[in-house]
Amino acid sequence: MQLSSASYSLLCLTLQGPFPFHPPTGVAITGSSAQQSLAKPNLVIDVAVTIPKACFYEKDHLDCKYHGKRALWLTVVAAQLKKDAVLKQQEWVLLNNDARYAACCLQCSPATP
């Protein structure tokens, strides 16, 4: 299921006050590319990005604040990545059709030799 940017911003409405953005604490390649079992011609690389603990407060798991902050953090990261000329397309999808678990799918332009 795809999610429009307007619908995605509604996930962040539960947040109040400033949001402390910090750069990722870790980036890891996961999925089939990590196991060296990629299928051609369409290569898909799953990347897991770790959100720093400094972005959250102790009780953010209450009232879906964690999910809203996760969505907002991912939106900032995606906006930074979108500035890169290599990116061709960006879309938001829901994992298991659950609005709390939105993911950003990025499509890169083919590399030229």
pLDDT tens for 25-76 read 998 888 776 667 766 676 777 888 888 888 888 887 777 788 888 888 888 8
pLDDT band at 10 (very low <50, low <70, confident <90, very high): very low
How many structural domains comprise the chain?
1
In a domain, 44, yes or no: no
Q: Is residue 81 part of a domain?
A: yes
**113 lies in some domain:** no
For residue 72, the surrounding DSSP H or E stretch is: helix 65-82
The answer to whether position 6 is within a domain reads: yes
Q: In a 3-state reduction of DSSP, which class is residue 93?
A: strand
Distance CA 47, CA 29 (A): 5
Residue 38 falls within a domain, yes or no? no
Contacts of 110 (CB under 8 A, 6+ apart): none
Mean pLDDT of 91-106: 83
Q: With respect to residue 62, please indicate whether it lies within any of the assigned structural domains.
A: yes
Quickly count helices (H) and strands (E) in the chain: 2, 5
- Domain range for residue 15? 2-21+52-108
